[in-house]
Amino acid sequence: MAIVDVKKITAIVLKRDTRKVLRKMQGMGVLEIKTAQPEEEGDFRRQENQTAILRIQNALNEVRTALSVITRYDHSKKSFLTPKPAVTVRELNAMGEKQEEIQAAIDAATAISAKMNEIRQRSSRIHNIMAQLEPFSSLDIPVEEIRPTAHARFFCGYIPQESLDEAQKLAEAYEGLFVMQEMEGGSDFVPLFAAAHASVAEDVRSQLKELSFSDMKFDGFRGTVAERIGTLRKELEGLQRERLEQEKLAEKAAGSRDLLLAYEDYLNNQLESEEAYARLGATERVNIIEGYIRHYDEEALKKGLSQVTEDFYLRVETPAEDDADAPTVIENKKLLRPFEAVTDMYSTPARTGIDPVYVLAPFYFIFFGMMLSDAAYGILLSIGALIVLKVKKPTGMFRQVTGVLAICGVSTLIWGALFGSWFGLEGIQPILFSPLSAPLPMLILCISIGYLHILTALGTGFYMLARDGKIWDAIFDKGFWIITLLAVPALLLDGTAGLICACVGLGGLILTQGRAKKGIVKKLIGGLASVYDITGYLSDLLSYSRIFGMALATAVIAMVFNRICGMLAGNVIGFIFAAAIFAVGHVFNIGINSLGAYVHSSRLQYIESFNKFFEGGGRAFRPLAYRTKNFRFEENDKAMSLQDK
C-alpha cells in the first residue's frame, strides 16, 4: 500500500462529552489531533489544560526518581531474550485505582533516596576532612595545645611545592627564631608545621602568605590528629552500616518495580490524553477537534463517535496538497515492513512523494548478503533473529531492525553459497566464484549491481515527475541521464547503438539543462556544465566497490580464525582451545560485519539512491492511542470501547 491517503476531520462535541470522546479515540487509535488555531476575534480559543498536564508531569518525575533508586537493587535475573511483560488496556487503566499502594512504594523509594544521599554527603565530608588531617597525623601533641604562648607562635598548613625552597631560606634567615618541619604526604602542596618566636611571628606570617601558605585549622575537636582520624573512621564504619541497611530496604522495595513501571506507562498515556485535550479548540459550550485519519478509518470514526454521544458534528475532507500539517501514513506488507526502519533513520517521506521501501528493499537485500557473504553466517543470523522475534517479542524500531537481519540472513546464505564460503573454510567449490580468488569478477559484479541501482533510482525519479504532470522535466532531468548511462553497456555490446544513446543523452542534456537561464548562450553554457555531473555518477558507481571490500573483510577474518584454530588443534587441550576460538571468533565476525553490512547498505541507499528521487520532510502519523514503554500489549487486546469501562 505504501503511502496511504489521509482525510482531514473537524468534529464538534459538547464539553460534557469531550473526555469520553478522547478516551474512545485513544482506545481506537485512528485519530491524530492537531493544535487548534484560535481566532483573534470571537469566542473560539484553545482549551486550557496546563494544570492537569503539570500535575501528571510532576507525578512522572516522582515515579522515575523512585524507579532510578530501586532499579539499581533489583537483582531478579533477566536474560536478553526475556520479553517485556504483557498487559491489557484494562489492566493499564486499573493503575489509576492503586494510588495508595503506588504512593507507598514511591514514598519508600524517596525516603531511601534521601537517606542514601545524606549518607553519601556525610561520607564525602568525612573523607575530605580525613584527607586534610592525614598529613598531620604524626603530630603527637593535642591540637588544643597548639596555641600562642608568651614566647612562641605556631603555624600548621600547606605551602606550594614551588615555594618550599623560599620558605626554607626564610627559616635560615631568621637564624633559629623561625623553624619548620615538613610533614609526610602532599605533592603540589606540602604540609608544614612551623614555630616562630613571638617577636618575629607577624613578619613570618606575612612572608609566608606571600609564598601562598594556607593555614590548616584544627577546629571542632580535641586530642591528637591521629585520635581524630580514628574517630572519623568509626563514623565512616557507622555510615557504611547505615548504607547496607538502606540497600536491604531498597532490595525489598524493588519488589514494587513492576508496579511502578506499569504506573509510568499509565501516566504517559494519561499525559498524552491531556496534551491532546489541550490541543482542542473551545467555545463556552463545545470543543472543536481537528485532526487527520487514514482514509479508510472514516466509517470507524463515525461509529466510534456515535457510540459515545449522539450530539456531535463531523466534517471529513481531503486535505489540500500544501497542507503542511497533514502527516504521512506508510503501510506496507509484512515482508517489506522491517525495511521501513532504514527509511525512518533517514527521513519520513513527504506525503506527496512515494515510499522508497519498494526501491530500497530488493537492493538492500542484495547488498547486505554480498557484504556478509558467508552461507553459514546467513543461517545463524536468520535463526538468531527469528529466535529474538519469537521469544523476546520486541517492538518498534528494535523489531524492525531484527526483521531486517532475519530477512538479510537469507540473502547472506544465497551469496555465501554462490561464493563457496561456509565459515570461511577453504577448499569448498563456489557455485559462482570466490571473491578472494577472483577479485576482478567480484568488482565487476558490484559495479554492475550499483549501475542497476542508480538506473532504478533515476527511473523512480522519472516516474514521480511524470506522475505529477511534469513530463518534460522527467524527460529532460531524468530521461536523458538514463539514456546517457545506458550508452555505457550499449557501447560494449553494440558500438553503433551505444554511440546513438550517448549522442542522444548528452545532446539532450546540453540542450535542456540550462533551460532555466535566459539567453541562448547561457542556456548552452548551463547545458555543457551539466555534462560535468557525469563524474558524479562515476563516483557513485565506485562507491559500490565497498561491497567488495566488506565481502573480503568477512572472508579474510574468518580465514584467519580458522588458521589459528588449525594450528592449535594438535592435541586434546589444543582442540578445546581451538573450538573456543572458533566459536568466539566467528561470533565476533558475524557481529562486527553484520553491523558493517547494515551501515554500508544503508549508506548506499541514502547517498547513491535517495538523492535521485526521494522527497523527505514529511511527518509521521501519530494518532492518539495507548502506548507502552515498559510493557507490551497482548496481541489479542482490542481497542477499548466505552463498555469496557
Query: What span, in angstroms and rounded, lies between the C-alpha atoms of 28 and 626?
Result: 9
Instruction: Inform me whether the pLDDT recorded for 212 exceeds 60.
Output: yes
Residue 248 CB coordination number (10 Å): 11
Per-residue pLDDT tens over the stretch 134-172: 887 877 788 777 778 888 888 888 888 888 888 888 888
Question: Are 631 and 479 contacting, i.e. CB atoms less than 8 angstroms apart?
Answer: no
Q: Name the DSSP class of 2.
A: E
Position 155 scores a pLDDT of 81
Q: Which residue has the higher pLDDT, 293 or 504?
A: 293
> What helix, strand, coil percent values describe the chain, rounded to 5?
65, 10, 25
Q: Would you state the cell numbers that stand for residue 574, as one nine-digit string? A: 589444543
- Name the region of 182 (left: φ>0; alpha: ψ -120 to 50; beta: rest): beta
Question: Are 563 and 538 contacting, i.e. CB atoms less than 8 angstroms apart?
Answer: no
Query: What span, in angstroms and rounded, lies between the C-alpha atoms of 273 and 18?
Result: 11
The model's pTM is 0.82
- Distances from the Cα of 511 to the Cαs of 438, 471, 507, 635, in angstroms? 43, 16, 6, 59
Write the DSSP assignment of 595-633 as a string of letters. HHHHHHHHHIIIIIIGGGT------B---S----SSSEE
Round the average pLDDT of the chain to a whole number and report it: 89
Partners of residue 156 on adjacent β-strands: 193
Position 186 scores a pLDDT of 63
Dihedral angle computed from the Cα positions of residues 60, 62, 63 and 65, in that order, rounded to the nearest 10 degrees: 120
Task: Tell me the backbone φ, ψ of residue 318, rounded to 5 degrees.
Answer: -80, 125
- Distances from the Cα of 82 to the Cαs of 79, 515, 633, in angstroms? 5, 61, 15
Mean pLDDT of 625-629: 93
Mean pLDDT of 316-332: 92
Q: Name the DSSP class of 182.
A: E
- Distances from the Cα of 402 to the Cαs of 251, 372, 396, 592, in angstroms? 34, 16, 10, 15
Per-residue pLDDT tens over the stretch 393-443: 998 899 999 999 999 999 999 999 999 999 999 889 999 999 999 999 999
Question: Are 582 and 380 contacting, i.e. CB atoms less than 8 angstroms apart?
Answer: no
Partners of residue 400 on adjacent β-strands: none
Task: Tell me the backbone φ, ψ of residue 68, rounded to 5 degrees.
Answer: -65, -30
Residue 146's contacts (CB-CB under 8 Å, 6 or more residues apart) are 139, 154, 156, 218
Q: Name the DSSP class of 279.
A: T
Write the DSSP assignment of 193-231 as a string of letters. EEEEETTTHHHHHHHHHHTT-EE----S--S-HHHHHHH
Percent of the chain whose pLDDT exceeds 70: 97
Instruction: Give the DSSP H or E segment for 452.
Output: helix 439-467
Placement of cell 561491497 in the chain: 547
Question: Are 512 and 500 contacting, i.e. CB atoms less than 8 angstroms apart?
Answer: no
Per-residue pLDDT tens over the stretch 545-598: 999 999 999 999 999 999 999 888 878 888 899 999 999 999 999 999 999 999
Position 635 scores a pLDDT of 60
Per-residue pLDDT tens over the stretch 7-41: 999 999 999 999 999 999 999 999 999 998 876 55
Residue closest to 598 by CA, chosen among 403, 349, 425, 376: 403
Question: Are 49 and 344 contacting, i.e. CB atoms less than 8 angstroms apart?
Answer: no
Residue closest to 363 by CA, chosen among 400, 434, 411, 413: 411
Partners of residue 8 on adjacent β-strands: 292, 317
Query: What span, in angstroms and rounded, lies between the C-alpha atoms of 615 and 92?
Result: 39
Residue 440: what residue type?
A: L
Question: Are 197 and 178 contacting, i.e. CB atoms less than 8 angstroms apart?
Answer: yes
Partners of residue 292 on adjacent β-strands: 8, 32
Q: Which domains does the chain have, with CATH numbers?
A: 147-217 (3.30.70.2750), 357-612 (no CATH)
Query: What span, in angstroms and rounded, lies between the C-alpha atoms of 645 and 641?
Result: 7
Helices and strands: H and E segment counts in the chain: 21, 14
